[in-house]
Amino acid sequence: MGKIDKYLLWIMNNSSNESRKATIIMKGQFPELKRIKGVIEIETLTTTIKCTHWWLKDEENNIIDPTANHYKILNYYEEKFIKCYTCGKFCLGDHHFCSENCENLYLSKLSISLLS
Ligand SMILES: [Zn+2]
């Protein structure tokens, strides 16, 4: 069994689509893991979207994501590295947009691509 196989095995047996809860439960089993809050970029049929997500990291910075198999994940961004979805400027805290204007722009682009 490889080094991260014990984590993958646990994930397979404890599948959940609720990333916040799943990372809390998994950290209870593996206290050495670190819980990370951030954003993932997901591929859908028509577009890519970003959404809030929780995952874990081991001591070697491998991403251990108990809910990864529910999405087609392209990228992980930790909270402190979140850039505005629209213009790319760094955002404060866990905000995903630098301004309301950028948020509205992103949402209007998203609804167009989901409807087309
Ligand atoms: Zn912006």
| Distance between Cα 88 and ligand 1 center (Å) | 6
Amino acid 74: pLDDT: 94
| Distance between Cα 51 and ligand 1 center (Å) | 16
Give the alpha-carbon dihedral of 98, 102, 108, 111, to 10 degrees.
Answer: -30
- For residues 68 and 27, state if they share a domain: yes
Amino acid 33: pLDDT: 97
**Residue 116 pLDDT greater than 80, yes or no:** no
| Distance between Cα 106 and ligand 1 center (Å) | 9
**Residue 27 pLDDT greater than 90, yes or no:** yes
- For residues 19 and 75, state if they share a domain: yes
- For residues 8 and 24, state if they share a domain: yes
Q: Which domain does 45 fall in, by range?
A: 1-80
Amino acid 1: pLDDT: 53
Structure confidence by residue, pLDDT tens digits, 33-42: 999 998 889 8
- For residues 57 and 110, state if they share a domain: no
| Distance between Cα 89 and ligand 1 center (Å) | 6
- For residues 75 and 97, state if they share a domain: no
Say whether 53 sits in a helix, a strand or coil. strand
Amino acid 12: pLDDT: 60
- For residues 37 and 87, state if they share a domain: no
Confidence of residue 17 (pLDDT cuts 50, 70, 90): low
| Distance between Cα 101 and ligand 1 center (Å) | 8
| Distance between Cα 90 and ligand 1 center (Å) | 8
Give the mean pLDDT of 92-98. Answer: 81
**Residue 15 pLDDT greater than 70, yes or no:** no
- For residues 92 and 36, state if they share a domain: no
- For residues 66 and 110, state if they share a domain: no
**Nearest alpha-carbon partner for 15 in 77, 63, 70:** 70
| Distance between Cα 99 and ligand 1 center (Å) | 6
Alpha-carbon span 83 to 87, nearest angstrom: 8
Structure confidence by residue, pLDDT tens digits, 42-88: 888 888 888 888 999 999 999 999 999 888 999 999 988 888 989 99
- For residues 52 and 67, state if they share a domain: yes
Tally of structural domains, the chain: 2
- For residues 75 and 93, state if they share a domain: no
